[in-house]
Amino acid sequence: MAPSKRYAKKQAKARQRRRLQAHERLERDRRQAQRAAEVLHQALEDLGLPANLVGEIEGRLHSQHKLLGKMVGVMFPALFGCRTPSELCRVRGWDKQWPSRILGALPKRSWLKRLRRLALEVLAPLWRHVASKSPATQSRWQWTWVWDDAVFHTYGEQLGWVGRWWSGQHKRVLSGIDGLLLLVVIGDGRLVVPVDFAMRRPDPVGPGAPCRDKLRWARVMLDERMAALRRHGLELPAPIMVADSWFSDSKLMQHVGDTHQGTLLVEGKQSYIFTLANGHKVKGHDLIEGKMWRWRQSPWEPGVYYVRLRATSPTYGQVIIVIVDEPGQDRFSLRCLETTLSAPQLIRRWRRRTWMEFVFRTLKHLLGTEACQVHSEDAYDGHLVLRLMGSFVLFYTSRVICKGCLTMEAIILSLKHYWRLVDLEALGLQALS
């Protein structure tokens, strides 16, 4: 055989091999997207959203259409490669009024009630199931309550919530909506459940009392959620709360201890002054930079050392201070009122606060919470609550149904590129032939 002919035959076989490999990859990706859509639908059914929330909106809109597919589109626009409602309608071929009609179907209080009810329906059975287990099992399913807030940018006309707020992420004052979120982290991130959400309204101009600030909102949210859990017959232990230094208010910390017999753990500030047990007065900066401490190694985290101090503050009274030194990180301190919890226990609870940042990252980047084009307060409430529910559904799908074998990013990436090849009638998806 001539060399030119042999070369041409070799190249033809290589092209055929590449075509077969590309076809196999496409088929594999299609199967993965189909699996992702099915487990997502299973999570929606397990949480009861089609029967409760979707059914109520269908009744309010007097719609004969099955709105589950459209609700999933509004809840997870990233699954279809979109961020804004207008882009979603253009890609799916919907009437451009559908997103605003769905989001405006319920008033503000009804949207928040749906979020709180979802949290109760998840937490109550889980607690009853774990309460009958051994102490070792219960220790792996401890609840840690987490407060945090974030500033969301807005699009369209200025709503009544829009104000000038300090953003910790951007390290500057931004014009936007300040949202306060209360989470329950179960175990070391086994499940992260949003239990309540509130948006802070700026102080009104003119005469009248100012609106609730962040600290009052945090106290009200905790009191209402604890009361709701008690009404459902749950005998919960004293709550352990974690929050950043913005929540280090003496009245709030005392309220958590007196009303709920709990502990509020916050990050220390370098400007606070404390009196140690030996009578020395030190600032928070001196605590972190001090070299006379007797460091102990954490039994649960290799390479992490800590110091546990008892001190007195003119503002907080008797406090516990934990200084943490870990490799590759700056030293930091934690502070709470007098407690019997050990320093390793407090450090472990503080680690669970990072799941709050995980939720906000999911909301802002994966689900595009800031890309909202509605122009009414009720619709904006629906937009944020639906995205919060979507974040929890994704987490539930990844951690509970898929047992951690499929991440949230993998679910979104798979459906984002191959949703046109998915055939699932319940979500309104018909595979292209």
pLDDT value, residue 297: 92
Task: Tell me the pLDDT of the chain averaged across its residues.
Answer: 84
CB atoms within 10 A of CB 213: 11
pLDDT value, residue 206: 54
Tell how far CA 302 is from the center of its chain.
28
Q: At 326, is the secondary structure helix, strand, or coil?
A: coil
Tokens matching residue 366: 């994966």
pLDDT value, residue 260: 92
On whether the CB atoms of residues 68 and 53 are closer than 8 A, the answer is no
Domain residue ranges in the chain = 45-244+353-427, 262-347
| pTM for this entry | 0.86
pLDDT value, residue 361: 73
What confidence category does residue 408 fall into, taking pLDDT thresholds of 50, 70 and 90? confident
Determine which of 14-18, 183-187, 239-243, 380-384 has the lowest per-residue pLDDT on average.
14-18
- pLDDT tens digit sequence for 173-203: 877 778 888 999 998 888 889 999 888 777 6
Q: What are the CA-CA distances from residue 52 to residues 20, 44, 47, 49, 231 (Å)?
A: 46, 11, 9, 5, 21
- pLDDT tens digit sequence for 133-185: 888 888 888 899 999 887 776 655 566 777 777 776 677 787 777 888 899 99
Half-sphere exposure of 396 (CA within 13 A, CB side): 22
Residue 26 has pLDDT above 70, yes or no: yes
What confidence category does residue 219 fall into, taking pLDDT thresholds of 50, 70 and 90? very high
pLDDT value, residue 157: 53
Report DSSP letters for 127-144, one per residue: HHHHHTS-HHHHHHT-EE
For tokens 């994966």, what's the residue? 366
Determine which of 236-250, 363-377, 403-417 has the lowest per-residue pLDDT on average.
363-377
319 vs 276: CA distance, rounded Å: 10
Closest CA to 145 of 243, 40, 290: 243
On whether the CB atoms of residues 358 and 346 are closer than 8 A, the answer is no
Task: Give the mean pLDDT of 241-251.
Answer: 87
Task: Give the mean pLDDT of 49-69.
Answer: 81
102 vs 88: CA distance, rounded Å: 14
Determine which of 118-132, 198-212, 391-405 has the lowest per-residue pLDDT on average.
198-212
Residue 418 has pLDDT above 60, yes or no: yes
- pLDDT tens digit sequence for 270-326: 788 888 888 888 888 888 887 788 899 999 888 899 999 998 988 888 999 999 998
What DSSP designation does 416 have? Answer: H
pLDDT value, residue 152: 74
What confidence category does residue 343 fall into, taking pLDDT thresholds of 50, 70 and 90? very high
pLDDT value, residue 210: 56
Which of the two residues, 283 and 344, has the higher pLDDT score? Answer: 344
pLDDT value, residue 154: 63
Q: Are strands 296-297 and 281-283 parallel, antiparallel or unpaired?
A: unpaired
pLDDT value, residue 60: 83
Question: What would the 3-class secondary structure string for 155-179 be?
Answer: CCCCCCCCEEEEECCCCEEEEEEEE
Task: Give the mean pLDDT of 327-349.
Answer: 90
Residue 207 has pLDDT above 80, yes or no: no
Determine which of 27-36, 59-68, 225-234 has the lowest per-residue pLDDT on average.
59-68
